[in-house]
Amino acid sequence: MNPSTELGTEVLLPRSKEEGDDFVADFATMSGFGATEAGGVERQAATAADAQTRRWLAQWLRERGFRVKRDRIGNLFGLLELIPGAPYVLVGSHLDSQPRGGRYDGAYGVLAAAHAVDRIRRHYQSNGVSPSVNLAVVNWFNEEGSRFKPSMMGSAVYTGKLDLETALNTTDASGTTVREALSVIGELGEEDVFGTSLAPAAYVEIHIEQGKILDKQGVDIGLVTSTWAANKYEISVHGAQAHTGSTEMADRQDALYGAALAVAAVRELADRYDDRLHTSCGQLTVYPNSPVVVAREVQMHLDLRSPDDSILAEADEILRRQFAKIEVKANVQIEKRHAHTWAANFYQKEGVELARAAVNDLGLSNVEIRTRAGHDSTNMKEIVPSIMLFIPSVDGISHSELEYTHDHDLCNGVDLTAEILLRLTHGHLAEQRAQ
């Protein structure tokens, strides 16, 4: 395939074997930070393993001429200035993981972004053409939300959805604040990296699918057109502490029993909607968690997701009525607090079409997908045109040490990201938005 300057037909020279080998080798190196014996990683936000990975990435970027900066919530940026004074296209994902999570989730997207942008750097250095925008690789802080809540914290602060001080004062289970944790690992910046003088022009994110569609259908790329809606809650079930042996059954206010009924109700709620509603409960904390004490309180997290906002609202109302019945049956009180919410929403059509043209020109098969999981692009698409891409995830396994994606799919994703970035640096998204 030959490069061309016509919209929709510009294709980078084919990837060299060395470029593919280099990416796979770098990914293996990166996957060693926080590696688990079963082949996954554990590097929750602002832990020592997360810090190691961030330092390695920062050094990788500096060695290739990027300017590395951190903002006040710990988002890490590698800035590549191609034309002074021009806006930046951001591209990236996140390096943090779930406990004993997979090595691909998020981290692949950051490294794919770094390699793709570096390929663009070398492209412009060799041909002398002037681009229309600059590029920046980004590692968003605490996307997973396993140590600090809510998830997607770094991009939420960046986009103004979450107050900076609220985020910095958020504590983990041990009482450590985000501010303290970032300071300890040296990743707390002192300024906003992007402001009026460095305002972003667009955002690109590539990620493993975390679902079975691409893998089952044998398709190379998922073009993400929209998000599922999600309501996340923090739940407290309040009862009364008592002796498990001597307290009469009729007198018990067992918070754990109430929580168990709530977990079952949430799971059974999903069965009403034929896969149009996904539900879960997680991270149960029982107080006092003694074998001979009736629990006085249980804290947990509840998650409802649907492609249809009306279904989500209906499910919420059904759950409210179910919880009222559980309060009577278990003689407890259930407190439900909003933790994080986003509506079903669409990515900008012109971004999807730009990605579709690029993937077709590269000869990769593709299909449109709605993302059920939340990603940082969920926040970014609210402020700038955003492109979200998926590569296959074997058997759809994610948030697990068994997570796996084939090397050729990893490299296809880097190729596509680089091609999209090349078109963005030539102003193609701006041209499409003007049409």
| Region of poorest pLDDT, from 59-63, 152-156, 238-242, 371-375 | 371-375
Mean pLDDT of 230-238: 94
pLDDT over 90 percentage in the chain: 84
pLDDT tens digits, residue range 356-372? 999 999 999 999 999 88
Q: Can you give the pLDDT at residue 431?
A: 57
Distance, C-alpha 146 to centroid of its chain = 12
Q: Can you give the pLDDT at residue 427?
A: 85
Mean pLDDT of 43-71: 98
> What is residue 177's DSSP assignment?
B
Which strand (E) or helix (H) includes residue 21? helix 17-30
Q: Can you give the pLDDT at residue 195?
A: 63
The residue that leads in pLDDT, 251 or 194, is 251
Which residues touch 246 (CB under 8 Å, ≥6 apart)? Answer: none
Mean pLDDT of 291-314: 94
Which pLDDT band, with edges at 50, 70 and 90, does 197 fall under? low
pLDDT at 11 over 90: no
pLDDT tens digits, residue range 285-301? 999 999 999 999 999 99
pLDDT at 13 over 50: yes
Pairing of strands 345-346, 221-227: antiparallel
The residue that leads in pLDDT, 10 or 187, is 187
Mean pLDDT of 217-229: 95
pLDDT tens digits, residue range 206-222? 999 999 999 999 999 99
pLDDT tens digits, residue range 390-399? 999 999 999 9
Which pLDDT band, with edges at 50, 70 and 90, does 128 fall under? confident
Q: Can you give the pLDDT at residue 341?
A: 81
Which domains occur in the chain, in start order? 17-228+344-434 (3.40.630.10), 229-342 (3.30.70.360)
Q: What distance in Å separates the CA atoms of residue 239 and residue 251, rounded to the nearest whole number?
A: 11
Q: What distance in Å separates the CA atoms of residue 112 and residue 221, rounded to the nearest whole number?
A: 14
Q: Can you give the pLDDT at residue 16?
A: 80
pLDDT over 70 percentage in the chain: 94
Name the H helices within 128-254.
153-158, 164-168, 178-184, 213-217
Q: What distance in Å separates the CA atoms of residue 229 and residue 217, rounded to the nearest whole number?
A: 25
3-state helix, strand, coil in the chain (%, to 5): 40, 25, 40
| Residue 227, phi then psi, degrees to nearest 5 | -105, 155
Q: Can you give the pLDDT at residue 14?
A: 66
Q: Can you give the pLDDT at residue 1?
A: 35
> Cβ(237)–Cβ(333) under 8 Å?
yes
| Region of poorest pLDDT, from 36-40, 69-73, 229-233 | 229-233
pLDDT tens digits, residue range 332-358? 999 998 777 878 889 999 999 999 999
Q: Can you give the pLDDT at residue 433?
A: 56
Which pLDDT band, with edges at 50, 70 and 90, does 79 fall under? very high
pLDDT tens digits, residue range 174-184? 999 999 999 99
pLDDT at 310 over 80: yes
